[in-house]
Structure 1
Amino acid sequence: MITGEIKNKVDHIWTTLWTEGLTNPLSAIEQLTYLLFIKGLDEMETTKEQEAEFLGLEHESIFPKDKQYLRWHQFKQLGSPEEMYRVVSQEVFPFIKGLQGKEESAFSTYMKDAMFQIQKPSTLAKVVDSLDNIPMSDRDTQGDLYEYLLSKLSTSGTNGQFRTPRHIINMMVELMKPTPEDKIIDPAMGSAGFLVEASEYLRNKHSDLFLVQGLKDHFHNNMFFGNDMDITMLRIGAMNMMLHGVDNPNISYRDSLSEENKDKELYTLILANPPFKGSLDYEAVSNDLLTVTKTKKTELLFLSLFLRILKPGGRAAIIVPDGVLFGSSNAHKAIRKEIIDNNKLEAIISMPSGVFKPYAGVSTAIMIFTKTGAGGTDNVWFYDMQADGYSLDDKRIEIKDNDIPDIIERFENLEAEKERKRTEQSFFVPVSEILENDYDLSINKYKEIVYERVTYEEPTVILAKIKQLEDDIQKGINNLEEILK
């Protein structure tokens, strides 16, 4: 989430692009992402050079020796806007499109049709100057900027096309604890925030994986998978993954719910916030998904997909709208029954409705389950999240109240949760009780609220106090009149 000075800079850049001809909002987002990628490449390269120098090692630069002028810190100092424009449009942009050099790589596939659409040298100079002061060292800055820019679109959120806040992604990754052997997918990847955060977690918690050639190759080539139907998002996701050190993520232009997607029992971990605004025609949906739950609702179809593509023993942490938890239609009940009866539902974390503001005010929850194909649900852990560290209005200002550290701590020590009462913020519910309640998974169905008895004064006493107040007011008015005479 970006605020303050950076937010003002982005607003200024947005206005510059808009007033000088780039009036398509999504095109503006894409052009800004290219420039941020170019800037991030240079900063990443500078960091690697400094590390190599400190360790006394040779460093093989992605910028050839005779092409150092293509780096951000070099071309930004060119004498005229016209010269900068020539270098960026005719040399830097083609250079980034050709990175990796493999025709079959995700990056080269989705970058080959990319177009540099800033038309005026003066516009480019203004944007470069403004972006130059935005720090790129923080993780997933491109995603944060995209999240903010998307809020400017009149269609923001209507297609489910808003980014999951990074602190929520981070919490879900911390809960699932990816391992170096995992095969991770987000079938509705957007800007690849979940995949990026999973890669960062592995770098921080399992850095030794890069010392084992097999695990290192797996990390770069066979660990991360993502699908999306938006070419712009695929480009942003590919750039995001590359900036975070994943050489060859498996990113595909694919409708995950269609017959085109043949994936079955391939992945060990799903991290996702699939779109849940919309419905599809039955003809557009893979038949085997409809056998689990006959519905047109995307949020239910994605749950059916997750069960199909997970390997036995595979885990999923996914965001669902609250309606999935208590919806009374046959389709809603069927998917809940499938997860509870035939797999192992582990946790439901209810999130406040403001988490996705300003894009959407819908209440959501995180569902965590393991695919077993043979049942295993015994006690389901519920947590009632009240705060995520930000105000729950459209402004989303940072605040002190934050349940996320508590959620992670409690989930890591579920044994200690068994004695908690239903009046507390988290508790267990036995599967037998869930079945008795027609597979209802809404936390309010099981949470007990303690009402404190409030004793009020007798009406005659309250009335006497009101009369006394009126007398005091009248005396005050009389005294004021006397003074003014």
Structure 2
Amino acid sequence: MLSPETEKKIEALWDLVSSAGLAASPYVVLDQIACLIFLKHLHELDLQRSAAGTVAVSQVRVSDKAKPTTPTISLWKKTLQQEDIGVFLVDVAYPWLRKLEQRLSNEKIFGTALRLNGLMGDAYFQLDMTKNQAIQQLVQSVDELFPCPGFDHDGPQSSGEVFAKLFEQASQNSTLGQIATPPHIARFMVSLLDPAAGEKIIDPAVGTGTLLVNALGYMREGKTPSDRSLAGRSDSLTGIDLNHAQVRISWIYLLLQGIESPLCIQGNSLNMQNNASITNKILQDKYDFVLSDVPFGGRIQQVENSDANGDANIQHIELQYLSQALSLLRPNGRTALIVPQSLLTVEDTAHIRTRRTLLIGHQLEAVVLLPEEVFAPHIGIKAAILVVRKHPAQQPASARSNPELKTTTVWFYEVENDGVSDESGTTGVASPENDLLDAWMHFKLRNADLQSWEATKGRYYQAVSLQPNTKWFNPQVTHRTATQTKQWQVPVRIWLEQAEWSNAPDGVLGSHDAAGRVRSEYIEEMASRLYVADRLDKTLLAHNCIEAHGWSLELTRYKPLEKPNLLGEKSVLELINELEALERNILQHLIDLRKNLGGDR
């Protein structure tokens, strides 16, 4: 946990960046700070290697020329000694960083350490060089706030926590909205998946790396040193992103967690090429979990998927990420994705086909609807979290008539209070009572035992207490009676009862048995009739199931109407009647007063 003094220093650092106008974008500032942290990390690494009698990174040359016999001063120390730091970073430090991977590739003694994968190849100093005093203060602040970056992750005040606080400051002071996935949402998503140390996780739109870092923290929580080491293996966490600067940020963020050589790659996770690139190798692998805050709103064109008319298949980018997430999973693997709520409701062909494939071929475990405040104030898009398990035997997308649904019911939870966000999008200390905790508890109980969940779904769970450094997704909990409905489950397919139907050879009468269960013989006969010419025969299904609504997952279609709750001994309707009587009494007194004053009417 960061001390109040450290938090003030971080706030002062971001105030300096903002007031001096060092860069136009917070992403540029974070990228530049990440590069400076990396220089400081190399300085600390050299101190360790020199103490061990091994070659320091600063001594490695591009060519095979003889290396100096005496240690050279690190670039970080040289940077701190400069009067014009900006010029030195442009002319010396950043060019050295761009060639670092080439240097390391000539030195087999480094093995897989500092596996950069081209991340520093386009690292350039991008801050305003005319603000020399501000740049000097920035470098000095980095030196002070990150004393041993990458080597202090087990300490009481780690460099990773400081870096995370910088994200928070950047989001609060940005006109672009959230710079990274809000940490409490990231922790919630990870807790829904419940990954164990050693399991493989990929984020195909890694951004600043917040989801992977929270996954690592979850897997390490309460673990022994050996298990913590297993959770921090570089091959267990993988990130891909199109944006080179953001991949650098996520790589440094994971490095600060003690991962010696994070696997974060710049590349297009939606476009696999026929070559031996590391991106292709990653995309051809299979993972236990896919965890991602997918990009919203864009469209991509894939000419290779043209239809019979030759028209290119243009799809919303979030649909492509959902499809790719399922492709990356091993059988029975699971994904948690933040998607726009439009993915659940839009009724064009691509969205309907995606939802149908999802429900027929996989198990949709949860739809968690998030409030707008999570991404406020600059992004007014409603989002949802989808949790999906990949079924071992995938259903062909064209198999409309197949009666076997991998998802039989969909569980919805509507989050109204996430415990930390307000209407302006600012975040504070987590509240002991919030809907995310209640959603997590019900999700866990429902997956463990559906009958037990049915008996307890009227409860609202809340934390007994929440210390500032407690991971809220695993606190001590208590419960009270829920005052409003926040969760509900909706069947995907409900066969309408046909009392006159009979199976003549077996003498079976009625589509449903005495207990109300649909007969397998009826399903077998009606499966081929459910869709005629690719159109649903709605006379066969109940109107309140998802398939009858064109596979829509829209909230308003299924949210149950709430009955008035009792307040004390009187119902809400009784209280309304009392208010009406009071109003009539007041109006009568006003009429009498007017008469007494000699007024008409």
- TM-score (norm. length: structure 1): 0.76
CA 1:435–1:144: 2 relative to 1, 3 Å: farther
Deviation at 1:193, TM superposition (A): 1.4
2:437 matched to 1:405?
A: yes
Equivalent pair of 1:75/1:87 in contact (CA under 8 Å): yes
Residues in 1 aligned to 2:55 and 2:291: alpha-carbon distance in whole angstroms: 33
Equivalent pair of 1:107/1:239 in contact (CA under 8 Å): no
2:129 matched to 1:122?
A: no
2:351 matched to 1:340?
A: no
Deviation at 1:339, TM superposition (A): 1.2
2:442 matched to 1:394?
A: no
SS of alignment partner, residue 396 of structure 1: coil
Deviation at 1:220, TM superposition (A): 2.9
2:38 matched to 1:10?
A: no
Q: Which moved more, 1:136-145 or 1:88-97?
A: 88-97
Equivalent pair of 1:314/1:370 in contact (CA under 8 Å): yes
Residues in 1 aligned to 2:181 and 2:418: alpha-carbon distance in whole angstroms: 13
* 2:300 matched residue in structure 1: 280
Deviation at 1:269, TM superposition (A): 0.6
2:51 matched to 1:30?
A: no
Equivalent pair of 2:409/2:492 in contact (CA under 8 Å): yes
CA 1:251–1:287: 2 relative to 1, 3 Å: farther
Equivalent pair of 1:417/1:426 in contact (CA under 8 Å): no
* 2:250 matched residue in structure 1: 237
2:442 matched to 1:425?
A: no
Paired AA for residue 183 in structure 1: K
Deviation at 1:61, TM superposition (A): 11
Deviation at 1:86, TM superposition (A): 5.0
Q: Which moved more, 1:261-270 or 1:196-205?
A: 261-270
Deviation at 1:438, TM superposition (A): 3.0
- Superposition map of 1:105-116 within 5 A: 107=116, 109-116=118-125
SS of alignment partner, residue 101 of structure 1: helix
- Superposition map of 1:202-217 within 5 A: 202-207=219-224, 209-210=226-227
Equivalent pair of 1:14/1:28 in contact (CA under 8 Å): no
CA 1:318–1:229: 2 relative to 1, 3 Å: same
Out of 247, 252, 262, which is 1:249 matched to? 262
* 2:410 matched residue in structure 1: 380
SS of alignment partner, residue 337 of structure 1: helix
Out of 86, 101, 107, which is 2:104 matched to? 101
**Aligned length in residues:** 446
Aligned identity (percent) is 25
Paired AA for residue 434 in structure 1: I
Q: Which structure has the bigger radius of gyration?
A: 2
2:558 matched to 1:446?
A: yes
Equivalent pair of 2:160/2:253 in contact (CA under 8 Å): no
Equivalent pair of 2:94/2:123 in contact (CA under 8 Å): no
Deviation at 1:169, TM superposition (A): 0.6
Out of 346, 349, 358, which is 1:330 matched to? 349
Residues in 2 aligned to 1:89 and 1:210: alpha-carbon distance in whole angstroms: 44
Paired AA for residue 325 in structure 1: L
CA 1:168–1:61: 2 relative to 1, 3 Å: farther
Equivalent pair of 1:98/1:108 in contact (CA under 8 Å): no
CA 1:44–1:427: 2 relative to 1, 3 Å: farther
CA 1:91–1:295: 2 relative to 1, 3 Å: closer
Residues in 1 aligned to 2:289 and 2:359: alpha-carbon distance in whole angstroms: 18
Equivalent pair of 2:239/2:263 in contact (CA under 8 Å): yes
Residues in 2 aligned to 1:279 and 1:378: alpha-carbon distance in whole angstroms: 31
Equivalent pair of 2:98/2:122 in contact (CA under 8 Å): no
Residues in 2 aligned to 1:170 and 1:102: alpha-carbon distance in whole angstroms: 37
- TM-score (norm. length: structure 2): 0.63
SS of alignment partner, residue 15 of structure 1: helix
Residues in 2 aligned to 1:470 and 1:9: alpha-carbon distance in whole angstroms: 67
Q: Which moved more, 1:112-121 or 1:135-144?
A: 135-144
Residues in 1 aligned to 2:24 and 2:315: alpha-carbon distance in whole angstroms: 35
Residues in 2 aligned to 1:471 and 1:301: alpha-carbon distance in whole angstroms: 74
- Superposition map of 1:34-113 within 5 A: 34-38=35-39, 66=71, 81-82=83-84, 90=92, 94=96, 98=100, 101-102=104-105, 107=116, 109-113=118-122
CA displacement 1:256-281 (0-9 Å, x = unmatched): 22353763562221000110122123
Equivalent pair of 2:301/2:313 in contact (CA under 8 Å): no
Equivalent pair of 2:117/2:265 in contact (CA under 8 Å): no
- Superposition map of 1:179-328 within 5 A: 179-207=196-224, 209-210=226-227, 219-260=232-273, 263-264=283-284, 266-283=286-303, 295-328=314-347
Deviation at 1:378, TM superposition (A): 3.1
Equivalent pair of 2:97/2:120 in contact (CA under 8 Å): no
2:195 matched to 1:178?
A: yes
SS of alignment partner, residue 412 of structure 2: strand
Equivalent pair of 2:292/2:337 in contact (CA under 8 Å): yes
Deviation at 1:39, TM superposition (A): 5.5
Equivalent pair of 2:37/2:142 in contact (CA under 8 Å): yes
CA displacement 1:78-133 (0-9 Å, x = unmatched): 5x745897599746984797389358965251113212345365333222344566
Q: Which moved more, 1:267-276 or 1:5-14?
A: 5-14
* 2:568 matched residue in structure 1: none
Extract unaligned runs of 5+ from structure 2: 59-69, 107-111, 147-156, 274-278, 396-404, 459-481, 494-544, 565-571
Residues in 2 aligned to 1:126 and 1:342: alpha-carbon distance in whole angstroms: 56
CA RMSD of aligned residues (A): 4.3
2:158 matched to 1:137?
A: yes
CA displacement 1:378-437 (0-9 Å, x = unmatched): 333222212122233225142635223323333222233223369532343333333344
CA 1:466–1:184: 2 relative to 1, 3 Å: farther
Residues in 1 aligned to 2:306 and 2:161: alpha-carbon distance in whole angstroms: 37
* Bigger RCO of structures 1 and 2 (CA < 8 A, at least 6 apart): 1
Equivalent pair of 2:305/2:313 in contact (CA under 8 Å): no
SS of alignment partner, residue 391 of structure 1: coil
Residues in 2 aligned to 1:471 and 1:94: alpha-carbon distance in whole angstroms: 93
Equivalent pair of 2:197/2:227 in contact (CA under 8 Å): no
* 2:368 matched residue in structure 1: 349
CA 1:26–1:397: 2 relative to 1, 3 Å: closer
Equivalent pair of 2:299/2:315 in contact (CA under 8 Å): yes
Paired AA for residue 344 in structure 2: L
Q: Say which structure is richer in helix.
A: 1
Deviation at 1:331, TM superposition (A): 1.6
